[in-house]
Amino acid sequence: MLNLDNNRDFPYYNENPKMSKIGWLVLLICIPVAYYANGFVSAFSNEIIGSISFLLILLIPLLYFSNWDYSLFFQKPTKNEFILAVLMCLAYIVYSSILTNLLGTWGIPDVGNSNANIVTIVSLIFSMMAEELIKFIPLMFLLRVLFKYTSNRRLSIIVSSIFTLIFFGLIHLEPSTTILSVLVIQGAGSIFHLYVYLKTKNLFASYLSHLMTDASVLILVMMGLIG
């Protein structure tokens, strides 16, 4: 059993520190702005620049409304946190492979990466952190709201996590996919990366797990080992 004991707690939910209403409003608005800016900039410039803008639109306001205290969400991963990140990366790959094949037998298209290339892999360095923030912001907002009215930390974490995973899956919906496929693969599958954050309270640990996962999948696609 990995020893992940630390004195960290989730920020904001118990006014630790307090996030202003304006701060929450701006951060929530930044999510769709960043998501669509990524697509727009990538289309008219390149994927790497798009992924950088994706990250900065989310990260800068978050730091600003947190008085630039990055330690609220980023820590240097410990050895055990890194091991957990690797284990959850492997767990996601196994999960997604099984579920993708299962959905395929039902004639449901998967969420493949047929356009994988080296530029896409480099862009993951930035876009995977942005995707972690896209989960982190609504997770902390919902946790704050639910805890305020229930004072039940465990219940608030569970409900906030479920809604966050559903939301994360739905934002991956494209014409070539289905609601079921993105909810099962991108949504429910992201529980592995979210679990890393819930256990460590360290976004850098969950980021590493997410980055290793997507980079591994894209490399396998480029090598022709998976479709």
Each residue's pLDDT tens digit in the chain (227 positions)?
566 767 889 999 999 999 999 999 999 999 999 999 998 998 887 889 999 999 999 999 999 999 999 999 999 999 999 999 999 999 999 998 888 888 878 776 655 555 556 667 889 999 999 999 999 999 999 999 999 999 999 999 999 999 999 999 999 888 778 888 889 989 999 999 999 999 999 999 999 999 999 988 888 777 665 55
How far is 120 from 115, CA to CA, in rounded Å?
8
Distance in angstroms between the alpha carbons of the first and the last residue of the chain? 35
Q: If we measure between CA atoms, which residue out of 90, 48, 68, 83 comes closest to residue 200?
A: 83
Burial 143-157 (b: 16+ CB within 10 A, else e): bbebbeeeeeeeebb
What is this structure's pTM?
Answer: 0.92
Q: Per-domain residue ranges for the chain?
A: 72-222
How far, in whole angstroms, is CA 22 from its chain's centroid?
Answer: 23
Helices (H), 7-150: 21-44, 47-64, 79-105, 118-150
